Structure 1
Amino acid sequence: METVVTVLVFFGMLSILVIIHELGHFLTAKKFGIKVEEFGFGLPPRIFGIKKGETIYSLNWLPIGGFVKLYGEDLEPGQKAPNSMINRAFYSRPIWQRVIVLVAGVFMNFVLSVAIVTYLFTQGVMVPSGQVKIEHVVSGSPAEKGGLKEGDIITDIKAENKDISITKSEDLGATVKKYLGKEITVGVLRDGEKTSVLLVPRKDYPPGEGPMGVAIGDHVKKVYSITQAPIEGTKESVNRTVEIVKGISTTLAKFFIQRKPVGDDVAGPLKIGQMTGEIRKLGLLPFLDFMGLISLNLAIINILPFPALDGGRLLFVILEALFGRKVKPAFERYAHLAGMAVLLTLIFLISINDIIKLVIGK
């Protein structure tokens, strides 16, 4: 039953992300008077389609994406739109309109991420507090023997004539690691008053307890107002986008330049589905956060200048703008077909890698 629920949740999430993305293309194309021949969820072959007006709304067998088929976007070699339809063909529209239509899907995925993060900020998010607070002291540990108590705020550590300020958990971990087996003075703030204790961080300690034997926290929950949240949500989405771009760049460099395997750095539909199942158990807010991250990933991947992706189609339009003439339709058509074949092959290989990792429990 858990597996069935996970599959339903995963495809539900994917459906929302795909529909939001394709709506961007669909609505802007309609706005500019471009004929939309088909709005499809999934990739062909088609399961069924319903025609409403001039557009076919279809459900397809490969549930790994979606598409909006624009009239005149993929012309057969030598094919041209009849005079009566020329103004409704994608290729006949001004370059600025085609650019907007092509980036609209990515923009919608970014907007969805901002909307999700904005909502999360109104519900409260964990932010750095600038303090390291002791949340638990292990019985019999150096911390207990030294006199540290729950609720103490660690402010500094003195050792070997050095005074080290502690404002985050990384500061404490790195400092304690330097003085294993040596006596240190831990400065703390207790009930508003400054005090200190002596202790010796142990070299050998039970798993999960650490050298001192304390559980610490350096974040607090902050709730943003309805006016603050959109601003902070946009900032956070931009920051996440930058981090995702860095991650993708690192993975590509690792594969193409360093010639190293990247199997552990990528995830296909199966792995993402598994992650969806694990995160949904944590509650609605973590799941929404995950959904926002996936939306950003889809946006960034789609804007990559690779044939068959939005970024690949955008590249051909940019080349047209730069050189003052269109790329030959036949060449562009075959480039996108080849790009789609490569993408489907990659998805297949990544899925095989996901299956192997699931089988061996990695």
Structure 2
Amino acid sequence: MQGLIAFLFVFSIIVIIHEFGHYYFAKKAGILVREFAIGMGPKIFQVRKGETVYTLRLLPIGGYVRMAGHDEDEQEIKPGMMITIVLDNDNVVQKLNFDEKLIIENSVPFQIEDADLHKDMTLTGYFINSEEKVTLTVSKTATIVESDGTEVVVAPVERQFNSATLWNRIKTNAAGPMNNFILSILVFIIVGFMQGGVPSNDAIIGQVTEDSAAQVAGLKEGDKVLSIDGVEIHSWDEMTKVVRSSADKTLAVSIERDGKTQEVQVTPKAVEASDGSKVGQFGVTRILKNDILSILAYGFTQTVSVVVLVLSALGSLFTRGFNLNQLGGPVAIYSMTSQVAKNGFIDLLAFMGMISANLGVMNLLPIPALDGGKLVLNVIEGIRKKPLDPEKEGYLTIAGAIFLFALMLLVTWNDIMKLFN
């Protein structure tokens, strides 16, 4: 239960922040946001405020912002469909109800012959028990109750996504991944404050583990490492690199303690790394910097580190060959979240920052159906000075969606197999 709660906490916040980026910039651009959904699948709760309906859906594995005319599944309207409508005193349609289970007060049955809810804003058909065909005007603020009960606002063409300027569409597409990076930065800053400081990259000894190689050699907290075997050390990363490659090898370590230089002999203990190899270990931690500037900088540096690692892993898929084990889906994230949650709330927050930055990078990949693919199409439109043919863009989006769906199935299956091995 703890793992499930932690997973829902991490995933929900990341999704909400990501989708809020799209939502905010779409609103600023005048694009009609019809729905802000958390989760996927069947709707379990909805509330409508203004022109946007906010829904909670059954499967907690994502979310979406449904913008008018932007990769959305609209209510299907066919000639002969029987619906109910609500008219005002001027016989202007204010609501169209496609949900057969819902009874709306003051509504009247209406058989549809034709409908244009984007340009002309008209509804043509027959009232019940009447053979006279009528054409009604539909209000530009009318709502549609879809067959699943979701109530959304109609989408006049001037409020649709493609009617916005190219620059506004670029900002709207890029806003989701941008928010992932912002969330990552803020979370790592919060982690820095909560843990009382951030790890320094200075080659200065922090805590010394009991019975470690460092303790046996007499190293103490605050010792500054100047050189190892005559090689000058300028950072923690440099020191770690030398130590890891020197398992069970005695090293001459020059340190500065209380303003004086001295040399100690340290033999790094051999420990097993994640890939099964043996690496050297001193058994010490970094010192923590607790000044505000260091903590603020930590948010940026950690986010950049995650981005670099993800890009490096993606690059290795092409240089070393594709390997499903280098990818992880919701099952893998759930498994990792459950393990991290056992270490405490601070570790869980740090994990959230890492996952948020990771998803920010993945969403920027130039694959149709992802934000990155949409941005590529925006750039092509800017170069061509005209948008891609809607039909061709639709085919590309469908192809991208099929590819992502197939990849997700493979990754999820691989994650499940790893859990049982």
**TM-score, structure 1 normalization:** 0.78
Aligned to 1:72: 69
Contact 1:73 1:90 in 2 (8 A): yes
Aligned to 1:341: 402
Distance 1:347 1:164, change over 3 A: same
Gapped regions of structure 2 (runs ≥ 5) = 75-115, 121-139, 141-155, 273-277
Match of 1:131 among 183, 190, 204: 204
Following superposition, the deviation at residue 131 of structure 1 comes to 3.3
Aligned to 1:51: 48
Farther-moved stretch of structure 1 (29-38 vs 66-75): 66-75
Following superposition, the deviation at residue 68 of structure 1 comes to 0.9
Aligned to 2:387: 326
| Counterpart mapping for 1:209-248 below 5 A | 215-217=283-285, 219-225=286-292, 229-248=295-314
Match of 1:94 among 165, 168, 175: 165
Distance 1:59 1:338, change over 3 A: farther
Equivalents in 1 of 2:214, 2:305: separation in Å?
40
Query: Is residue 2:415 matched to residue 1:354?
Result: yes
| Counterpart mapping for 1:1-362 below 5 A | 4-74=1-71, 81-82=118-119, 85-123=156-194, 124-132=197-205, 135-136=208-209, 138=211, 144=216, 148=218, 155-156=226-227, 163-165=230-232, 168=236, 169-170=239-240, 173=243, 176=246, 180=249, 187-189=254-256, 192-196=259-263, 215-217=283-285, 219-225=286-292, 229-251=295-317, 253-254=318-319, 258=320, 260-360=321-421
Contact 1:70 1:90 in 2 (8 A): yes
Following superposition, the deviation at residue 353 of structure 1 comes to 0.5
Amino acid at match of 1:263: L
Gapped regions of structure 1 (runs ≥ 5) = none
Which of the pair has more CA radius of gyration?
2
Contact 1:132 1:155 in 2 (8 A): no
Equivalents in 2 of 1:228, 1:128: separation in Å?
11
Between structures 1 and 2, the one with greater strand share: 2
Distance 1:171 1:104, change over 3 A: closer
Q: Deviations over 1:149-190 (max 9, x none)?
A: 6556665455xxxx344564436526755x94x8x7554555
Equivalents in 2 of 1:142, 1:340: separation in Å?
53
Amino acid at match of 1:233: G
- Root mean square deviation, CA, Å: 3.4
Contact 1:121 1:224 in 2 (8 A): no
Distance 1:29 1:197, change over 3 A: closer
Following superposition, the deviation at residue 274 of structure 1 comes to 1.0
Following superposition, the deviation at residue 127 of structure 1 comes to 1.3
Q: Deviations over 1:102-152 (max 9, x none)?
A: 11111111111111122223341111232357825749x8985xx746556
Contact 1:268 1:350 in 2 (8 A): yes
Q: Deviations over 1:305-330 (max 9, x none)?
A: 21111122222222221112221222
Equivalents in 1 of 2:53, 2:348: separation in Å?
32
Equivalents in 1 of 2:68, 2:254: separation in Å?
71
Contact 1:143 1:213 in 2 (8 A): no
Contact 1:118 1:233 in 2 (8 A): yes
Farther-moved stretch of structure 1 (127-136 vs 49-58): 127-136
Equivalents in 1 of 2:312, 2:253: separation in Å?
38
Between structures 1 and 2, the one with greater helix share: 1
Equivalents in 1 of 2:46, 2:259: separation in Å?
68
For the residue of structure 2 that corresponds to 1:130, the secondary structure is coil
Distance 1:324 1:117, change over 3 A: same
Amino acid at match of 1:173: V
**TM-score, structure 2 normalization:** 0.68
Number of residue pairs the alignment of both structures matches: 334
Contact 2:271 2:281 in 1 (8 A): no
Following superposition, the deviation at residue 89 of structure 1 comes to 1.1
Equivalents in 1 of 2:15, 2:385: separation in Å?
33
Following superposition, the deviation at residue 250 of structure 1 comes to 2.3
Sequence identity, in percent? 31
Amino acid at match of 2:313: G
Equivalents in 2 of 1:212, 1:43: separation in Å?
47
